[in-house]
Structure 1
């Protein structure tokens, strides 16, 4: 029964959104407004009854539900409190009737639906402001924040960019992310305590020896991550395509490529994976034996959450390992998934960001990547529109800017990620 009610609730809300879009777009004939008023009244009454039934079934009050009125258990209709169903609204002018119906629809929709609708409008306004289709004042009225020619990316779009970054940048996917404005530090143990065992009871002449523990602290230091895309004024003026959406997509891609390279390979980042992962340099041996040795080098406490991340050259080297009969050694390791492999029981991810500018070098990492710490400074992601700088070439520039940092953090007693390069397939 609950599933039926939920399906009907979704259908009613979808129909209300259609009616609202028609009314806001002035696509409805004046003669049809009265008919829509009656339909909205009926839908509102049914929607309130469904919400009341769902509340009773779950025995709890949801934020998006309206409390039922009266003792008969029927929900509040649109005629109460002088809303769209009242005689006053019905007797008003045609624009007033439209507004009354729209208000009635918005009050009837769930809070979640209203939030999604608002986010969609905000995202659209942000995109249109970027390409100059609306003014700053219009964008601000729709919830877009602007200052000194810069546009603060709406939170919903910022989350979308970060989500896209997680899909493309594996260190965002498996690392640990924090959002804060201040400096973010992580303590690491640099001196261990030591315990003793005694067979006789301790006395004043035989006290417990004091041992010290000592910590160091690694601070993340957010720096600027930015990306720039150029669009011709002719394209903005003449194209029927949604150029503003293309601009946003290109900004996302450019930003993520910059960020991922900084996390994986940057020599300016002391905590990048290439710089900070512990080099694993075993003696000359077969590739499979190297993988076993590498796996068993990771501290036992970190093995449970460990995984492999490698480039395509390393994947090729691993996939071509043969047993003594000439059969692929990893053929039994195939599982459903992105690249479909587990090596020695641990999942495998492949990304070109591991290349570090040398795609021909088979490079792989193994360990617990949750120790890669990422700090995103709250509300620092913004976009600037550059008009004058590229005016002599009739182009418009769009620059995305963000403050963040990402570093691999571990102590000397418990390294978390190791790096192995298979330079010739057999030797280290």
Structure 2
């Protein structure tokens, strides 16, 4: 199949799709909820059709010119060169087909994802019903709607931006129970100066492991909207609802990962409390840094709250000069202290925002499991009908725990005293 045939086939496909859209419009199948996405698809198809027709015309003109050209003076092309030319042309044709296919599928996929996301939002606020939502690829059941994959990824991406443990931790997506072996007893080697005999065999060493299982539990969030606002506002209220659900969900999840006492693997519960007799804050930081196992230092970083950052940035030497100068601290957000990156998060506060708290270590040992296809949203109509409100609840199954061997702790925790003396 040559390039001209490919373009002709694509032209017919576009014209057929435009015909389908025209039939849908004339039959009244396109309503206010879908008119924007349909118009967008029509515009893209029309632009592509125009480009395809232009390329077809160019190929025709080129072919006519080659036919009219005189054949005199043509040189005999060797058979080997002909075969090489044919092979190269086949490769170019294959590449052309791949490009055309990719462009077409990408355009269709993006249009479908946009239509599905809009249908999901409109279903939430009651602008379309169950059957119409399902026809657009939204999975609904008994007032619950499964969050489309594209929106689910958007929520998780937002969570990674806000929840540092999602950004630096290790995530798995699976339905099964996820377990991680933890070494609890090390092997011991032997060395001897004489050759072994039957009376002097190798002393065996047992290796012991325990296994930590992630146990996904429910994370949910609920927002309420008045019926009056839903019916009277000209704002895209459905988008505001999605944004608020995202924020509420991420806040609850992050707090569970960082601080929850119900989570034995939360960062606060599982990180190793750093203790020292040192009273100087700067020296405490140095000793903490040097306590982390060497194998974990490669990916180590600081995560602290604002109270801890304020103390560190205001440390003074005996002459009243900032103790941590450019060689030690470079800015605050996303920069370095003692040579290691720094992140600041309000989730480190927990229930005690005034306590200067920081963590240091390799946070890739924080493991997160998201259960496949478990993120859903429910619309609650009856529960809040007495107050003329509608509830929207987001629900997800996941777990996040800090997991490490006692022989190689990965994250340490330090709470700074505000009355410690200066250097």
Q: 1:295 aligns with which of 284, 289, 294?
A: 289
* Structure 2 Cα separation of the partners of residues 347 and 153 of structure 1: 35
* Structure 1 Cα separation of the partners of residues 45 and 313 of structure 2: 66
Residue 80 of structure 1 is matched in structure 2 by none
Residue 50 of structure 2 is matched in structure 1 by 42
TM-score (norm 2): 0.78
- Map 1:184-223; keep pairs closer than 5 Å: 184-223=178-217
Residues 129, 271 of structure 1: alpha-carbon distance in 2 compared, 3 angstrom cutoff: same
Residue 371 of structure 1 is matched in structure 2 by 365
1:198 Cα deviation (Å)? 1.8
Residues 366, 415 of structure 1: alpha-carbon distance in 2 compared, 3 angstrom cutoff: same
Q: Is the 8 A contact 2:218 2:397 kept in 1?
A: yes
Residue 130 of structure 1 is matched in structure 2 by 124
> Where does structure 2 lack aligned partners over 5 or more consecutive residues?
1-14, 36-43, 59-87
* Structure exhibiting the larger radius of gyration computed from Cα positions: 2
Residues 117, 40 of structure 1: alpha-carbon distance in 2 compared, 3 angstrom cutoff: closer
* Structure 2 Cα separation of the partners of residues 48 and 305 of structure 1: 55
1:116 Cα deviation (Å)? 1.3
1:337 Cα deviation (Å)? 7.8
Residues 40, 307 of structure 1: alpha-carbon distance in 2 compared, 3 angstrom cutoff: closer
Q: Is the 8 A contact 2:333 2:342 kept in 1?
A: yes
SS at match of 1:360: coil
SS at match of 1:309: strand
1:46 Cα deviation (Å)? 4.7
**Given the alignment of the two structures, is residue 401 of structure 1 paired with residue 395 of structure 2, yes or no?**
yes
Q: Is the 8 A contact 1:188 1:217 kept in 2?
A: yes
Moved over 3 A (4+): 22-27, 36-42, 45-50, 53-64, 333-338
TM-score (norm 1): 0.78
Q: 2:244 aligns with which of 239, 246, 250?
A: 250
1:339-367 CA distance string (max 9 Å, x none) = 15311100000000000111111000000
- Map 1:243-392; keep pairs closer than 5 Å: 243-333=237-327, 339-392=333-386
- Map 1:50-69; keep pairs closer than 5 Å: 60=95, 63-66=98-101
* Structure 1 Cα separation of the partners of residues 280 and 219 of structure 2: 41
Residues 382, 109 of structure 1: alpha-carbon distance in 2 compared, 3 angstrom cutoff: same
* Structure 2 Cα separation of the partners of residues 327 and 142 of structure 1: 64
1:64-121 CA distance string (max 9 Å, x none) = 524xxxxxxxxxxxxxxxxxxxxxxxxxxxxxxxxxxxxxxxxx95312221111111
Q: Is the 8 A contact 1:334 1:340 kept in 2?
A: no
1:284 Cα deviation (Å)? 3.6
Residues 403, 344 of structure 1: alpha-carbon distance in 2 compared, 3 angstrom cutoff: same
Q: Is the 8 A contact 1:286 1:425 kept in 2?
A: no
Residue 8 of structure 2 is matched in structure 1 by none
1:374 Cα deviation (Å)? 0.4
* Structure 2 Cα separation of the partners of residues 124 and 185 of structure 1: 38
1:212 Cα deviation (Å)? 0.3
Q: Is the 8 A contact 2:361 2:412 kept in 1?
A: yes
**Given the alignment of the two structures, is residue 225 of structure 1 paired with residue 225 of structure 2, yes or no?**
no
* Structure 2 Cα separation of the partners of residues 401 and 37 of structure 1: 38
1:336 Cα deviation (Å)? 7.5
Residue 83 of structure 1 is matched in structure 2 by none
* Structure 2 Cα separation of the partners of residues 168 and 114 of structure 1: 32
The alignment yields a C-alpha RMSD, in angstroms, of 3.0
1:326 Cα deviation (Å)? 1.9
Q: Is the 8 A contact 1:271 1:408 kept in 2?
A: yes
Residues 337, 233 of structure 1: alpha-carbon distance in 2 compared, 3 angstrom cutoff: farther
Residue 171 of structure 1 is matched in structure 2 by 165
1:256 Cα deviation (Å)? 0.3
1:325 Cα deviation (Å)? 2.8
* Structure 2 Cα separation of the partners of residues 356 and 263 of structure 1: 11
Residue 5 of structure 2 is matched in structure 1 by none
1:113-138 CA distance string (max 9 Å, x none) = 22111111100000000000001111
